[in-house]
Chains A and B, each alone.
Chain A
Amino acid sequence: MTALLQVLFDALSLGSLYALGALGIALIFGVMRLVNFAHGDYIAFCVFAMLWPSIDAAAIVFAGNLPTIILVPFILAVGAGLSVLSEIVVFRRFRNANPATMMIASFALGFVIKYFLLMLYSSRPKSIDLWSNLTQQIEFFGARIPPLQVITIVVTIVILIALTAFLKRTRFGLEMRAAAENFTMARMLGVRANRVIMLAFAVSGMLAAAIGLILVTQTGTVDINMGANLMLVAFVATVIGGLGSLPGAVLAGYLIGAATVIMQVVLPPDARPFRDAFVYGAVIAMLVWRPNGLFTSKATKQRV
């Protein structure tokens, strides 16, 4: 029972991170068919925004010293700002390009952001102490759980509810869903393309910032590559969930998180180093079984 509870919490918190990442990618894919490979670098950028630029080994915490109540909105604003800026400077010019070109452009942008960070902060990982008391484990029905896991899960649920409310109840949300469904039609009916796309980028950037905050608290280190792995899993999750489907992306994020944690427990010790190979093997099986993902949105279905 205790072990089960532990696995449950591990799976839910890991899945939450993946779900948030997948959501960030799916939002942008929905409005402009762009697979944004720079998303992982947004995550790293938001975390580095807490530090003062220096190439010393020790991190010089600057904005990170702000009280939590100001720090969190600040980092979210950084994420949203960077994301919107990249839309205005780069992606706006690629609206009519084919998906491969957009994808490579986003990768190139991520490359630029990453090496910009490298130039300012060097490539060495630095340790940073942000809310470290949250990672000290507490007993919970016999299972040892860091409060951060609980916070991650709760925060994700709150974000999901807020986002759902935003998409379903507000005018902006309605416009965004319409744009995701059929962009040309939505424009003809009076949805302003630039506004909707910028909004999607802003929300996506904030999600990246939220992931960054959780990750840095969890690991206590900042690293220019910290978002890369998560971005890849999130990317896979968006496809498994059905590209363009937000609930699908979230669900698939949780599924991959759960699969990873369960494999870690179930696999024999010899096979454990190969865990990720098994997870990706399952991904292949899943795609062969359902090439269009768990939830297929009408917009992505191929029409003859």
Chain B
Amino acid sequence: MADRPSILERTWSTPVILIGILAALQLAALAVGSGPFNQTIIEIFIRVVLVVGLFVFIGNSGVISFGHIGFTCLGAYMTAWLTMLPAIKKSKLKGLPDIILNNKLAYGWGLVAAVIFAAIAAYVVGKVLMRLSGIAASIATFAVLAVIIQVYSNWDTVTGAQSSVVGIPIVRVVWPYFLCAIVVVIVAYLHQISRSGLALRAARDEATAASASGVNIPRERLIAFTISGGIMGLGGAMFAHSVGVVTPDTFYLGLTFITLSMLVVGGMNSLSGAVLGVVVLSIIIQLLRWMEKGVDIGGASFALPLGVQEIAIGVVMIVILMYRPSGLTRNRELVWPSNKLSARGKPNAPADGKTA
């Protein structure tokens, strides 16, 4: 076994390919350079961050979580609190501590704070919940989401309750989002091939055998949950800076399901699936949006009626899942063609229908 290449040697091409895909989007944004198009690319990068964040926990542990968007909410509000102008905060969010109320940080620090805050929250929540597994864990995470959203949509003096928090500095250039997406893909990859990540994947595929071999399942899950919570917080902060407005409702079921769908459509158990799911579904959504606005075909303007876009997305998702129940990537990672042979021994063998 000594001559077997290390896991890094065997799998490094995956993150390189994924970053290549993201770089292609970044280049497209540079080439086109129009505001709306940039915004679309930014949206895709944010979704990549969110879905990869979901993947770090869901893909590696096999436990579906409905609660991760709660951490996104925490991250978004954290950066809003830190980076808004003191004058706006004093009039709208009086309940904040004085030190936050009187200062304003650059958005980069807002992102960092969002990650730390969301990761701490995820650690605390995970400490309690990671003993659960299967559907009970899913429901418990959903309950966490409900608690977070309820608190944020009613805590008048700190979160502005249901009304939207406006005045968050907007970042319109694309590259910071691109950078964040790359960092997140690399973090997810490193976690996946780390000792903890491998142990967790083993526990996902054969819980009994893994724990008999000394894998401490709650501990490995907690590590993944904390990392993914931090990533979700980053995604929330990026979202806040991309549109400049946050409301608690943004971070509820709609976003939860669209991100989960992207993960499952792409292939829940692979990092490539997470990224590809986002890219493919986002492109379909964007095409349908354009068609809804109206396209000229042979001189005649042709527009889809309202609602058809969503119906089409739903139908596309169902059809993809019908023919590819384990996602577009079939739960495999993208690798260089020449790497295929050596990639067989990867930790990521397809595990169709084996997620508990």
Interface residues of A (CB under 8 A from B): 35, 90, 93-94, 96-101, 103-105, 107-109, 111-112, 114-116, 118-119, 228, 232, 235-236, 239-240, 243, 273-274, 276-277, 280-281, 283-284, 287-288, 291-293, 302, 304
Known pairs A101-B325, A239-B136 / 6 extra A-B pairs, C-beta < 8 Å: A96-B353, A97-B353, A108-B314, A119-B311, A281-B143, A284-B144
Given contacts A104-B321, A108-B318, A111-B313, whether A280 and B261 have CB atoms under 8 Å apart is no
Q: Return A101 CB to nearest CB of chain B, in Å.
A: 5
B64 within 8 A of A: yes
Question: Does B143 contact A284, Cβ atoms closer than 8 Å?
Answer: yes
Return chain A residues, CB-CB under 8 Å to B264.
100-101, 104
Interface of A is mostly: helix
Q: What distance in Å separates the Cβ of B162 from its nearest Cβ neighbour in chain A?
A: 10
Known: A97-B353, A101-B321, A288-B131. A276 touches B268 (CB 8 A): no
B267 to chain A, nearest CB (A): 10
Q: Which residues of B contact A (CB under 8 A)?
A: 64, 128-129, 131-136, 139-140, 142-144, 146-147, 150-151, 154, 208, 253, 257, 260-261, 264-265, 268, 305-308, 310-311, 313-315, 317-318, 321-322, 325-326, 352-355
Contacts of B135 in A (CB 8 A): 35, 99, 239, 243
Tell whether, in the assembled complex, residue A291 and residue B132 are in contact, meaning their CB atoms are under 8 Å apart.
Answer: yes
User: Which residues on the A side are within 8 Å of B129 (C-beta)?
Assistant: 284, 288
B268 A100 Cβ-Cβ under 8 A = yes
Contact A288 B307 (CB under 8 A): no
Contact A107 B136 (CB under 8 A): no
Assess the B353–A292 pair: CB atoms within 8 A.
Answer: no
Contacts A90-B318, A103-B64, A288-B128: A281 and B139 contacting too (C-beta < 8 A)? Answer: no
B143 touches A283 (CB 8 A): yes
Can you list 13 A-B contacts (CB < 8 A)?
Answer: A35-B135, A98-B354, A100-B264, A100-B268, A101-B321, A105-B318, A114-B310, A119-B306, A119-B308, A236-B139, A236-B142, A240-B139, A287-B139
- Interface secondary structure of B, over-half rule: helix
With A107-B257, A119-B307, A236-B143 in contact, is A94–B136 under 8 Å at CB? Answer: no
Question: How far apart are B294's CB and chain A's nearest CB, in angstroms?
Answer: 17
Question: A287 contacts B140, CB within 8 Å?
Answer: yes
What residue of chain B has the Cβ atom nearest to residue A114's Cβ? B310
Known: A119-B311, A287-B139. Contact between A108 and B261, CB under 8 A? Answer: yes
Task: Report yes or no: B322 in contact with A115, Cβ–Cβ below 8 A.
Answer: no
- Give the residues in chain B near A118, CB-CB below 8 Å: 306-307, 310
Do the beta carbons of A283 and B321 come within 8 Å of each other? no
Once A97-B353, A105-B321, A107-B261 are accepted as A-B contacts, the answer to whether A277 and B150 lie under 8 Å apart by CB is: yes
Closest to B133 in A: A291
Give Cα A290–Cα B82 distance, bound, in whole angstroms: 40
The distance in angstroms between the C-alpha atoms of A273 and B162, with both chains bound, is 12
Q: Are A98 and B353 in contact (CB under 8 A)?
A: yes
User: Contact: B147 with A115, CB < 8 Å?
Assistant: no
**Cβ distance A56 to chain B, nearest Cβ, rounded Å:** 15
Query: Which of A97, A240, A302 has a CB less than 8 Å from the CB of B321?
Result: A97
A104→B139 contact, CB < 8 A = no
Cα distance A104–B143 in the bound complex, in angstroms: 19
